[in-house]
Amino acid sequence: MPPVPPVPSSASPPRDPRAPILVIVHQAHSTCGRVGAVLRARGHILDRRVPLLGDPLPADLSGHAGVVVFGGPMSANDDHRDGIRAELAVLERAMGAGLPVLGICLGAQMMARVAGARVSRHPAERVQIGYYPLWPTAAGRRRGLFDGETPAEVYHWHTEGFDLPPGATLLARGPDFPNQAFALGERALGIQFHPEVTHEMMERWIHKAAPMLMLPGARPAEDHRAGRRRFDAAVARWVERFLDRWLG
């Protein structure tokens, strides 16, 4: 897939700052968690779609203030799924138009793929499931997205990662999967981790996907809970600032 050139923010058309935000999730029970709560608190209606269950995606995004694509157990490389192909296409349109776009885990991997980067498993088949360190880059600090109050560790649940797309700015790094956050232009941001996860979401994932906790690199369930007690308050503070800067 050829890279999508980022459009400078000055080229983006004026948009209603309280217009609906298109949010794309991947399973019937999926929620937008903390990210959705923050966006609603900022006055946005969430236009929730599940393309993998047949929901159509808007042909015209001019009435939306932004697009958020959340995570899921499928792969950004699943071209045999109509829903994944539809999501890749809407991301290409949104990113090309300079619309604020945020990809979380699978969403970031799809953004990277649209922009011409590879999405793949770890060469040693390692995964990140649980809390892991997050290291801001100088560019991430300069942009105010990953600053001195960035959480020391963040929550992950993924088996694949992404190469840095051509022309992208690396904002944060981490162990095993070094590319943890990137920017394409001023308005498109991808993050590999899950700041949206609530306590209830975490417990549901732990119970429904318990066998994955045995994969190489995964943390045991008790470490998930301990990590949440230690780091979640910082994640909650950080994600509000991050989303405000993303929406401008």
Which positions are catalytic? 105, 194, 196
CB atoms within 10 A of CB 32: 20
Residue written as tokens 């011409």? 116
103, 154 Cβ separation under 8 angstroms: no
**The residue count for the chain:** 248
Within 8 A by CB and 6+ apart from 214, the residues are none
Q: What's the chain look like in SS3?
A: CCCCCCCCHHHCCCCCCCCCEEEECCCCCCCCHHHHHHHHHCCCCEEEECHHHCCCCCCCCCCCCEEEECCCCCCCCCCCCHHHHHHHHHHHHHHHCCCCEEEECHHHHHHHHHCCCCEEECCCCCCEEEEEECEECHHHHHCCCCCCCCCCEEEEEECEEECCCCCCEEEEECCCCCCCEEEECCCEEEECCCCCCCHHHHHHHHHHCHHHHHCCCCCCHHHHHHHHHHHHHHHHHHHHHHHHHHHC
